[in-house]
Amino acid sequence: MLRDIQDEIIRIKKEKDICILAHSYQAREILEVADFSGDSFQLSVMAQKAPQKNVIMCGVRFMAETVKVLSPQKTVYLANPIAGCPMAEQMDKEMISMVKEQYPDYTVVAYINTTTDLKTVCDVCVTSSSAVKIVTNIENDKILFIPDSNLGRYVAEQVPEKTFKILQGGCPIHASVTANEAVKAKEIHPDALLLVHPECLPEVVRHADFVGSTSEIMKFAKSSDNKEFIIGTEVSIAEHLQYECPDKRFFFLSQKLMCQNMKSTTLIDVYDCVLGRGGEEIIIDEQTRLKAKKCIDEMIRLG
């Protein structure tokens, strides 16, 4: 049954010239029908490279918006319209415009988990895998970092030569993990390496053996000689790794690391979307798109 639906999706997407992009937090059955899966940075790059006329994003809204900003000639759908990212909604354009007046000589660095509207008043985007490199490469040494304060503090530690103003926002899922949970997990699994996403609190990151984006965590775990890992990011990453590396063992850092927004997209949503009876087409006005594009183009140039 599942296989039949997957086969149909694959047949229809070819027939209708559709590219399916999936964030790595999506369920396995969705990754299997995707043309490409990866972290936020890789998805942005693929958004431009994909030759198809139509794109379906299996992820959250800001990811679909990023595809549309970069490829306006493509018809872009968000597979499930309710999939938003709470962090992306935490700050708006008006708020950041006011903050910029206070810090006019700072470069505004926005995590890609922001709305297109907010990106129009920012200078450059970053993702978790590209943030350190991009901030290092920015000519200015004064950085105003929004909205993820945990990622901001992590980057500030890695780039100590720059001055940071960090606004208070972040991912409610990753930020819910406590240092105590990290200590306990290491006690229970003493042979396991702790791999943590920089959206986690600094006191959790401090216990990590490796810090990286979704894809970097997966790459590290696959290539490491170690046999056991505690995964400090969304639970699906531990599940995908367990499937791909049956000779290794993967443990969740916390059961709280489950993003309901990422999990809201189902294979049936993807099926309905390829059939043209589901999903939401992403529409962005041209003036907003062009302003937001500068910020994303800068990310690709500096990353």
Which positions lie near ligand 13P, rule CB under 6 A? 39-40, 85, 113, 127-129, 171, 199, 213-214
Q: Least distance in Å: CB of 255 to ligand 13P?
A: 17
Tell me the C-alpha distance between 68 and 59, whole Å.
Answer: 14
Q: Out of ligand 13P, ligand SF4, none, which partner does residue 128 contact, by CB within 5 to 8 A per kind?
A: ligand 13P
For residue 191, the Cα-to-chain-centroid distance in whole angstroms is: 29
Element (H, E) at 22: strand 18-23
Measured distance CA(135)–CA(209) in Å, rounded: 23
Q: Distance from CA of residue 53 to its chain's centroid? A: 23
39 contacts ligand SF4 (rule: CB under 6 A): no
The yes or no reply on residue 85 touching ligand SF4 (CB under 6 A) is: yes
Closer to ligand SF4 by CB, 10 or 27: give it: 27
Residue 261 lies near ligand SF4 (rule: CB under 6 A)? yes
Decide: is 34 part of the binding site for ligand SF4 (CB under 6 A): no
Q: Are strands 280-281 and 75-78 parallel, antiparallel or unpaired?
A: antiparallel
Q: Does 57 bind ligand SF4 (CB under 6 A)?
A: no
Alpha helices in 20-130 (DSSP H): 28-31, 40-49, 61-70, 93-102, 116-119
Distance separating alpha carbons of residues 227 and 222, to the nearest angstrom: 10
Residue 181: name its binding partner from ligand 13P, ligand SF4, none (Cβ under 5 to 8 Å by kind). none
Position among 234, 250, 267, 298 found at the interface with ligand SF4 (CB under 6 A): 234
113 lines the binding site for ligand SF4 (CB under 6 A): yes
